[in-house]
Structure 1
Amino acid sequence: MPSTTVVVVTWRGRDHITACLDALAEQRPHRTLVLDNASDDGTAALVAAHPTGPTAVRLPRNAGYAGALAAVLPHVDTEFIAWLNDDAVPDAGWLGHLEDALRAAPGAAAATSSLLLADGATQSVGVRLTADGHGADLVRAGHEVFGFCGGAALLRTDALKSCGGVPSGFFCYYEDTDTAFRLRLAGHRVIPVGPARVRHRHGASTNPGSRLFHRWNERNRLLMLLRCAPARVAVAQVARFAALTAVLPFRRAPEAGNFRLPLRLQVLAEVVLRLPATAVQRFAIGRRAKVSRAAVWRDWAGR
């Protein structure tokens, strides 16, 4: 039995998923599971014809990155589960480095890779938690990390399941920071593994800077805080977002896409509609926690 199930989530990945699957063929023995988010561009045929014979599951609709990961998690029974973007191409030793690092760190539940952009620049060596609750990529090695970048990471399957799995309702973005926060609340660590290198075609499936990008990022950050952060922090950040939104009609707004009034109103509406379910989730997360929200926030926010 292999130790790891590598889950590759794809949506219209015809132009790049072959490179990802080719690279996985060079890894330590593992199971590859491709989650196809109802692609309509021929991706399914490419996956079916790939010589490595990955297991493919085609979802009836696009459930997003988070939704696809959540859908497959109950069926994963290996020691580890790897999250891998379909536009990511890991170096040959990638999986071995991650598995060895987690086995050598029994207190750690997740290991994050070194993601490199096409020009060789570093995209992420892990995620930090900012003072106002953003998950921000670290680009310099040698730092402790709060969380992992979900584009290429390895997690202990049991730890992921016991902390509540993947927040399927996020659709896309912040599912990794939310999961890292819950792992921290459960008393686990997240470690960076520098030699586990991945080349990432950033934004191949989504368009950074687009309206959807900003909508998911802004909404999911607030939902993550409402689920995981101390109550005073979560309420303060939602109130701050609402206050900035309220004054936009009366002042010159920044050019950034996340300051457009219709988008921010939509984000607030979606957060409000999700408040009852989010409150239930917050209660469940708190019951499972072994470390207080205040302690995690004190130790990591703003570092």
Structure 2
Amino acid sequence: MTRIDFEAVDQPTCSIVILAWRLTDILLDCLASIRASEGAPSYEVVIVLNGADPAVRDTVAREVSGAVIVDLPHNVGFGGGCNAGAADARGESLVFLNDDTVVDPHWLARLHGAAGEAPRAVASLLLNVDGTVQEAGSRVLSDAVTVQLGRDLPLVEARDTGLLEQRSVDYGSAAALLVPADAFRAAAGFDPAFEPAYFEDVDLQFRLRAAGLDVVFEPAARVTHLSGASTSASHAFRDWAYAHALPVFVSRWSTVLANAPAEDAPLEALCPIPLDAALANGGRTLPTAEQIRSGAADTALAIARGFGLDTGLRYDTLIADYQRVEALYLATEARYGEQVAELSRHLTAHVNRVAQLESELGSLQGETGRLNARLHDLDSRGPVGLARWQAGKILAKRGHGQA
């Protein structure tokens, strides 16, 4: 692959923050698509090596130049990694982009253009690899379930239903999201309470809305997203991360969720976020990249311990369930063992008898078939043939008697 060189920019308008962990070729495809941008504002690319594999580090060092590199020795989760990249970013707008994406050449220009003069966050149109819609903005329901609007719809159908219009949304995936840098820092960035993943982007955009910003969806800013390629392949880990983050989100936004729109509500229906500056950052400040880097080992250890504790609890539950089932089986066997054995003997005898009858039935069916064939043959010969057959039977009997 041709080396990807990004031009040095003194004062970038946008800082594109990308977390790199375990993808190599897919990451390079993402970076190459950014480099092919047309009509874009000045930008820098900030690559966060978020506990990245050696192969990823080697690939970035060998194939990429001109990008800002933020090196974290351990994976601190999605939010922590994005915060580290944002802390070192210089752009007026922060653009968070997953490493498993390929952007349209006009994506950045249209995303930034949609931000306009009034500070607001802007979500991209995410597409599946087959060109269908993955997300045209998202909605949050009363039970905190998130709905990706237009998911799997063909573009024509999505357009006909009004989904491909610029509009306010509850939130947009941080797989391709623009946030004004000042607003992001005022909100203290992604909340580490959601580490390692899930709901941190929803929470951030709810807090931005609490600070008075709008969150809009821009359908002209198109990104193809592999979805999930940049996250852990372990279903158990993802299940744990979701189960950890969900109650944090529900507790913080319970009043808002109580008034959330239904899934099939009109597109303009949003979760009602009260204006509350204190809610916007919760008294936190955005840590520096060095603070995140120096605490990376502790963060990664806390994540590992949390997952390990959850795994241990699940294992203990499985063992307890197994022991209960085993005890029930032994008690049942002790109480009904003789009856079960007797029933088993009767059942075996019946099965054997059925097999014998099936064998006899097969023999009878074969004999019946032969007789039917003979009768059909005689019938085809008419009365003379039938008389000869009967005479033959009589002679055969006589001969048998004489013998």
Normalising by the residue count of structure 2, what TM-score does the alignment of the two structures yield? 0.55
For 1:156 and 1:208, locate their aligned partners in 2 and report how far apart those are by CA, in whole Å.
32
1:201-253 Cα deviation digits (max 9, x unpaired): 111122578122222223212212323442995xxxxxxxxxxxxxxxxxxxx
**1:232/1:188 Cα in 2 relative to 1: closer, same or farther (>3 Å)?**
closer
Which secondary structure state, in structure 2, belongs to the residue aligned with residue 206 of structure 1?
coil
**1:31/1:146 Cα in 2 relative to 1: closer, same or farther (>3 Å)?**
same
For 2:54 and 2:228, locate their aligned partners in 1 and report how far apart those are by CA, in whole Å.
17
For 1:94 and 1:37, locate their aligned partners in 2 and report how far apart those are by CA, in whole Å.
25
Amino acid at match of 1:14: T
Shift of 1:76: 2.5
1:11-32 Cα deviation digits (max 9, x unpaired): 1111310001101112323000
For 2:257 and 2:219, locate their aligned partners in 1 and report how far apart those are by CA, in whole Å.
35
Residue 159 of structure 2 is aligned to residue 173 of structure 1: no
1:124 is aligned to 135
**1:87/1:287 Cα in 2 relative to 1: closer, same or farther (>3 Å)?**
closer
1:219 is aligned to 244
1:292 is aligned to none
Aligned residues of 1:135 and 1:177 also touching (Cα < 8 A): no
Residue 35 of structure 2 is aligned to residue 25 of structure 1: yes
1:197 is aligned to 222
- Tell me which of 75, 95, 109 is aligned to 2:120: 109
Larger Rg over CA atoms: 2
For 1:193 and 1:232, locate their aligned partners in 2 and report how far apart those are by CA, in whole Å.
25
**1:287/1:148 Cα in 2 relative to 1: closer, same or farther (>3 Å)?**
closer
Shift of 1:283: 10
**1:44/1:191 Cα in 2 relative to 1: closer, same or farther (>3 Å)?**
same
Which secondary structure state, in structure 2, belongs to the residue aligned with residue 197 of structure 1?
strand
**1:43/1:209 Cα in 2 relative to 1: closer, same or farther (>3 Å)?**
closer
1:188 is aligned to 213
Unaligned residue ranges in structure 2 (runs of 5+): 1-10, 151-157, 259-275, 284-403
Amino acid at match of 1:188: L
**1:56/1:130 Cα in 2 relative to 1: closer, same or farther (>3 Å)?**
same
Report matched runs for 1:37-186 at 5 Å.
Answer: 37-104=50-117, 106=118, 108-139=119-150, 140=158, 141=163, 142=165, 144-170=168-194, 171-186=196-211
For 1:144 and 1:185, locate their aligned partners in 2 and report how far apart those are by CA, in whole Å.
14
Shift of 1:288: 6.9
1:111-167 Cα deviation digits (max 9, x unpaired): 000111112221111121112123321125246411111100111011111123111
**1:231/1:127 Cα in 2 relative to 1: closer, same or farther (>3 Å)?**
closer
Shift of 1:58: 1.7
- Tell me which of 270, 274, 285 is aligned to 2:279: 285
For 1:130 and 1:232, locate their aligned partners in 2 and report how far apart those are by CA, in whole Å.
7
Measured on the aligned residues, the alpha-carbon RMSD in Å equals: 2.6
- Give identity over the alignment, percent: 29
For 1:136 and 1:219, locate their aligned partners in 2 and report how far apart those are by CA, in whole Å.
19
Amino acid at match of 1:113: S
Amino acid at match of 2:251: L
**1:100/1:283 Cα in 2 relative to 1: closer, same or farther (>3 Å)?**
closer
- Tell me which of 13, 17, 27 is aligned to 1:7: 17
Bigger relative contact order (CA 8 A; separation at least 6): 1
For 1:283 and 1:222, locate their aligned partners in 2 and report how far apart those are by CA, in whole Å.
23
Which secondary structure state, in structure 1, belongs to the residue aligned with residue 51 of structure 2?
coil
For 1:285 and 1:60, locate their aligned partners in 2 and report how far apart those are by CA, in whole Å.
32
Amino acid at match of 2:32: D
Q: Is the helix fraction higher in 1 or 2?
A: 2
1:18-48 Cα deviation digits (max 9, x unpaired): 0011011123230000001122241112112
Unaligned residue ranges in structure 1 (runs of 5+): 234-281, 290-303
Which secondary structure state, in structure 2, belongs to the residue aligned with residue 164 of structure 1?
coil
For 1:174 and 1:4, locate their aligned partners in 2 and report how far apart those are by CA, in whole Å.
24
For 1:225 and 1:175, locate their aligned partners in 2 and report how far apart those are by CA, in whole Å.
12
For 1:288 and 1:60, locate their aligned partners in 2 and report how far apart those are by CA, in whole Å.
28
Aligned residues of 2:187 and 2:281 also touching (Cα < 8 A): no
Amino acid at match of 1:146: D
**1:220/1:26 Cα in 2 relative to 1: closer, same or farther (>3 Å)?**
same
